[in-house]
């Protein structure tokens, strides 16, 4: 299972996740935050940000890869 948002077990993990997310490039961070913290769908994010759904999907894929990589460090 994934340890992304809501499933982080303790305060340390929550702080780490916040630091990792805040370090993401803004386009990736915005999409990640709207998806994982605001619970928006890719379609909702695309509409709100004036992006295509494909762009949202690509940015989420990149953001998740970076977050996962940093969580493993």
pLDDT for position 1: 44
pLDDT for position 4: 53
CA distances from 24 to 1, 68 (A): 22, 12
Write down the pTM of the prediction.
0.79
pLDDT in tens, the chain (73 residues): 444 555 555 777 778 888 999 999 999 999 999 998 899 999 999 999 999 999 999 999 999 999 999 888 7
Q: Which tokens go with 24?
A: 């993401």
Distance CA 34, CA 32 (A): 6
pLDDT for position 22: 94
pLDDT for position 35: 94
pLDDT for position 13: 77
């Amino acid at each position: 299972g994934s340890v992304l948002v809501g499933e982080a077990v303790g305060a340390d993990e929550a702080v780490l996740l916040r630091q990792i997310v805040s370090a993401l490039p803004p386009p990736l961070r915005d999409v990640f935050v709207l998806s994982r913290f605001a619970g928006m769908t890719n379609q909702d994010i695309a509409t709100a940000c004036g992006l295509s759904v494909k762009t949202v999907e690509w940015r989420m894929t990149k953001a998740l890869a970076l977050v996962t990589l940093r969580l493993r460090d």
